[in-house]
Protein backbone atom coordinates (compact mmCIF):
# COMPACT_ATOMS: atom_id res chain seq x y z
CA UNK A 1 0.00 0.00 0.00
CA UNK A 2 1.27 3.44 -0.92
CA UNK A 3 1.29 6.22 1.67
CA UNK A 4 -0.18 8.60 -0.92
CA UNK A 5 -3.43 6.67 -0.68
CA UNK A 6 -3.56 7.18 3.09
CA UNK A 7 -2.49 10.82 3.30
CA UNK A 8 -4.02 13.43 1.06
CA UNK A 9 -1.73 16.51 1.01
CA UNK A 10 -3.57 19.79 1.59
CA UNK A 11 -2.01 22.80 -0.07
CA UNK A 12 -1.72 26.07 1.84
CA UNK A 13 -2.90 28.79 -0.57
CA UNK A 14 -0.96 31.45 1.36
CA UNK A 15 2.36 30.13 -0.01
CA UNK A 16 3.23 31.21 -3.59
CA UNK A 17 5.60 29.43 -5.98
CA UNK A 18 9.11 29.62 -4.50
CA UNK A 19 12.57 28.74 -5.74
CA UNK A 20 16.01 28.64 -4.08
CA UNK A 21 17.60 32.07 -3.90
CA UNK A 22 14.34 33.97 -3.42
CA UNK A 23 14.17 36.48 -0.58
CA UNK A 24 10.88 36.00 1.25
CA UNK A 25 9.00 37.35 4.26
CA UNK A 26 7.19 34.55 6.10
CA UNK A 27 4.35 35.43 8.47
CA UNK A 28 3.93 32.78 11.17
CA UNK A 29 1.16 32.61 13.76
CA UNK A 30 2.72 32.18 17.20
CA UNK A 31 0.68 31.22 20.25
CA UNK A 32 1.98 32.54 23.58
CA UNK A 33 -0.17 31.53 26.50
CA UNK A 34 -3.74 32.46 25.70
CA UNK A 35 -2.79 35.08 23.08
CA UNK A 36 -1.88 34.66 19.43
CA UNK A 37 0.22 37.00 17.32
CA UNK A 38 1.85 37.09 13.87
CA UNK A 39 5.64 36.96 13.73
CA UNK A 40 7.53 37.86 10.53
CA UNK A 41 10.76 36.20 9.44
CA UNK A 42 12.61 37.54 6.40
CA UNK A 43 15.42 35.68 4.69
CA UNK A 44 16.65 33.72 1.69
CA UNK A 45 15.26 30.34 0.63
CA UNK A 46 18.26 28.00 0.67
CA UNK A 47 16.49 24.65 0.34
CA UNK A 48 13.30 23.21 -1.14
CA UNK A 49 12.22 19.65 -0.38
CA UNK A 50 9.31 17.98 -2.07
CA UNK A 51 7.77 14.77 -0.84
CA UNK A 52 4.65 12.80 -0.11
CA UNK A 53 4.00 14.88 2.99
CA UNK A 54 3.81 18.06 0.89
CA UNK A 55 7.41 19.15 1.35
CA UNK A 56 9.12 21.99 3.18
CA UNK A 57 11.43 24.91 2.55
CA UNK A 58 14.26 26.42 4.61
CA UNK A 59 14.73 30.16 5.04
CA UNK A 60 18.06 31.57 6.28
CA UNK A 61 18.92 34.96 7.71
CA UNK A 62 21.98 36.38 9.46
CA UNK A 63 21.02 38.46 12.51
CA UNK A 64 23.67 40.18 14.63
CA UNK A 65 26.33 37.93 13.09
CA UNK A 66 24.44 34.72 13.92
CA UNK A 67 22.83 32.60 11.20
CA UNK A 68 19.21 31.63 11.88
CA UNK A 69 17.33 29.06 9.80
CA UNK A 70 13.66 28.11 9.83
CA UNK A 71 12.38 24.99 8.11
CA UNK A 72 8.71 25.49 7.28
CA UNK A 73 6.36 22.79 5.97
CA UNK A 74 4.26 23.75 2.95
CA UNK A 75 1.16 22.30 4.62
CA UNK A 76 1.58 24.08 7.95
CA UNK A 77 -1.60 25.82 9.13
CA UNK A 78 0.57 28.19 11.19
CA UNK A 79 1.86 29.93 8.04
CA UNK A 80 -0.22 33.07 7.70
CA UNK A 81 1.40 34.12 4.43
CA UNK A 82 4.59 34.20 2.38
CA UNK A 83 5.58 37.27 0.39
CA UNK A 84 8.32 37.04 -2.25
CA UNK A 85 10.37 40.24 -2.00
CA UNK A 86 13.08 39.41 -4.54
CA UNK A 87 13.77 36.61 -7.00
CA UNK A 88 17.41 35.54 -6.68
CA UNK A 89 19.39 34.05 -9.53
CA UNK A 90 20.63 30.68 -8.27
CA UNK A 91 22.14 27.91 -10.36
CA UNK A 92 21.88 25.22 -7.69
CA UNK A 93 18.96 23.55 -5.97
CA UNK A 94 20.49 23.63 -2.49
CA UNK A 95 22.35 26.77 -1.41
CA UNK A 96 24.20 25.31 1.57
CA UNK A 97 27.36 27.19 0.61
CA UNK A 98 25.66 30.39 1.84
CA UNK A 99 26.28 29.18 5.40
CA UNK A 100 30.03 29.72 4.98
CA UNK A 101 29.78 33.21 3.47
CA UNK A 102 29.54 36.51 5.27
CA UNK A 103 26.25 38.38 5.06
CA UNK A 104 27.53 40.77 2.39
CA UNK A 105 29.04 38.04 0.18
CA UNK A 106 25.91 35.89 0.50
CA UNK A 107 23.87 38.20 -1.74
CA UNK A 108 22.68 36.86 -5.09
CA UNK A 109 21.97 38.71 -8.28
CA UNK A 110 18.33 39.37 -9.00
CA UNK A 111 16.54 37.23 -11.55
CA UNK A 112 14.61 39.44 -13.91
CA UNK A 113 11.57 38.41 -15.88
CA UNK A 114 11.48 39.10 -19.59
CA UNK A 115 9.29 42.13 -20.30
CA UNK A 116 7.34 42.04 -23.55
CA UNK A 117 6.54 45.44 -25.01
CA UNK A 118 2.90 45.62 -26.15
CA UNK A 119 2.38 46.78 -29.71
CA UNK A 120 0.62 50.11 -30.02
CA UNK A 121 -2.37 50.40 -32.35
CA UNK A 122 -0.48 53.02 -34.46
CA UNK A 123 2.16 50.48 -35.49
CA UNK A 124 -0.42 47.88 -36.46
CA UNK A 125 -2.36 50.28 -38.77
CA UNK A 126 0.63 51.36 -40.87
pLDDT in tens, 6-43: 766 677 788 888 899 999 999 999 999 999 999 999 99
The CB density around residue 83, as the number of other CB atoms within 10 Å, is: 13
Q: What is the pLDDT of residue 83?
A: 93
Residue 101 banded pLDDT, cuts 50, 70, 90: confident
Domain harbouring 47, CATH code: 2.30.30.790
Is position 125 within any domain? no
The number of folded domains in the chain is 1
Is position 92 within any domain? yes
**pTM to 2 decimals?**
0.75
Is position 117 within any domain? no
Residue 45 banded pLDDT, cuts 50, 70, 90: very high
DSSP string spanning 81-124? EEEEEE-B--SSS--GGGGGS-TTTT--PBP-PPPPPPPPHHHH
Amino acid sequence: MDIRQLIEPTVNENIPRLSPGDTVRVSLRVKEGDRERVQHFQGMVIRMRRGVDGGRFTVRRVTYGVGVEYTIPFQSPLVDGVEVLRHGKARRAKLYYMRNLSAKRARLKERRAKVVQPQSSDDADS
